[in-house]
Amino acid sequence: MIRTLTVCALAGLIAHAASAADLPPDSIYRLEASFTDQSGREFQLSDKRGRPVLVAMFYTSCRYVCPLIVDAAKSIERTLTSAERRDLQILLVSLDAERDDVDALKSIAEKRGLDPANWTLARTDEANVRKLSALLGVRYRHLADGEFNHTSVLYLLDAEGRKQAESSRLGGTPDPDFVAAVRTELHDRTASH
């Protein structure tokens, strides 16, 4: 029994290493870090592989900019056809490793009506927040009052986790060039399958 479990665990590690090895060198999915979503499920970024992803960093207690990041992603989603929406994932990763637990993420997802089929709100530890922010190019600073000053950008990742485009336009009116990049990525993915 123990031998079987050991063989299974080893096979899983080899499969994970093989999948990371065949990722492009500039893929953020190479980051080996554990994340937890708003439902309490653990995942790796590489689990998002296969579909385009909009990704941003935020925190749930933010009252001004972070709600606008959500609005920007929702406005992009509204411009898409239902088939395009099904193929797009949206990932928001918290900067606030200390306060943003699963309940905080779930509360925001429910309040904002974010469909868990496409929207993932996630948390990780502080070290992995730093690593992901560096890979994305997000700059942030934890302020004395508990708030964060941070880059407010939506990034488009292709199905392999490579940055393809970015938009710093927040709120309810999407950047048409960014929407065009999202559509191109969605159609390129569909054409290759």
Write the pLDDT tens digit of every residue in 127-184: 999 999 999 999 999 999 888 999 999 999 999 999 999 999 998 899 999 999 999 9
For the chain, the straight-line distance linking the first and the last C-alpha, in angstroms and rounded, comes to: 40
Enumerate domains of the chain plus CATH numbers: 25-192 (3.40.30.10)
Task: Determine if residue 137 is left, alpha or beta; phi over 0 gives left, psi from -120 to 50 gives alpha, anything else beta.
Answer: left
pTM of the model: 0.87
Lowest mean pLDDT among 3-12, 35-44, 81-90, 131-140: 3-12
Output the six-digit token pair for 38.
Answer: 């708003």
